[in-house]
Structure 1
């Protein structure tokens, strides 16, 4: 069968296959590569699970395996595996808001537990991303749309260590955050707030590279199931974001070979 537009290349599959579960007890499962191609097709197009083409196998198999492997931590392990080679000298952090589709907004839970927040545009979810010096994702997180960027990022910065630099906009400017990174041996090259009395050291030359995190958000929003949130369960939506990030990592490898 010829490869369809969004299918995994041989190189991408070679990187993914070793991370997948090998337990095949019971009925032989539908081919993993075929099902993953269906999952990525849905991720790229934003179509409902029921519309996945038959060439990828039963749509229920694609949806069930996506959720089952999410609960088993497969997608987390996959992102960890492909991102091991990240360039940590300079890291960048930012956040972007995405609209919550009306189908996802019907879950009857409080907004915070759903990572949905109210704004002028309706319900939104915010994606927080820490990326490396090549603009490739290291850490990802969801919050409700109105969450403060800086305060929401504090649990994403623990891995920064000696000799590393964090780039961030004014939303990440706080003495407490700068001091904590300094204690870890890292430097926060964060654009200072204009009303600061004691202006910290800031390199405008380094800061210009922060556009790489913006480019990451542009890339990840090419995946329509990420650009608009259709998932009611925030864990499923975050898994979709992570799978899109995996694809970005794998393509970065292919572009350098």
Structure 2
């Protein structure tokens, strides 16, 4: 990000543009409805797209989350984000997957997340809505920070996932599925703290363009999620 001029026209300050991007995403506006005080809506939109393609917001989120210190406790969960018809209208296959799938609730995307004991997101991933929780966990496994315990609901009760956590010396606090012949015990008192990740998802969904996906491209929608997570939890 820089503030040089182009052909004699002063470049709109990047901080002003970022404020405009945040305003649009938080309030669920169309880009053309961005207040003029933030600059031309085309400028706001073009910089958001360009920075998204460069992974700027993803890198900012990862850098700030990485400075939060080593957590004693991790929590993992996933939530569905409804895809608006403007995002789902181009469901055709292309060079890059759109991360939109079909479930009983219609077309949606699924946000997988790992947060610390304070309910602050550390790792996030986006997938098609029909992806199972434990397959989503596999997307984030290599990025898991070191911790003593991981809390998850019974959707993460898979032998391979428990073994992967054990290899990382992370104790699993996960209730057993009903079809397990021999249930694996877990700390029920500790498990009650898992509500913090549900609160985290709720705060993210307060941003209207997160609650409903309007972006056709997965990288722009994921950038919006990373930006929201950064502003809400790490600034």
Q: Which position in structure 2 is the counterpart of 1:64?
A: 46
Q: Which position in structure 2 is the counterpart of 1:96?
A: 79
Give the SS at the match of 1:114. coil
Q: CA deviation at 1:162?
A: 5.6
Aligned length: 231
Alpha-carbon contact 2:3-2:12 (below 8 Å) kept: no
The CA distance in 2 between the partners of 1:63 and 1:40, in whole Å, is 11
Alpha-carbon contact 1:161-1:186 (below 8 Å) kept: no
Q: CA deviation at 1:164?
A: 2.0
The CA distance in 2 between the partners of 1:86 and 1:222, in whole Å, is 26
Aligned ranges for residues 1-257 of structure 1 at < 5 Å?
21-22=1-2, 24=4, 26=6, 28-83=10-65, 84-110=67-93, 113-160=97-144, 163-250=147-234
Gaps of 5+ in 2: none
Please say which of residues 166-175 and 154-163 is displaced more in the overlay: 154-163
TM-score w.r.t. length of structure 2: 0.91
Alpha-carbon contact 1:166-1:189 (below 8 Å) kept: yes
Q: CA deviation at 1:205?
A: 1.2
Gaps of 5+ in 1: 1-20, 252-257
Give the SS at the match of 1:153. helix
Alpha-carbon contact 1:164-1:185 (below 8 Å) kept: yes
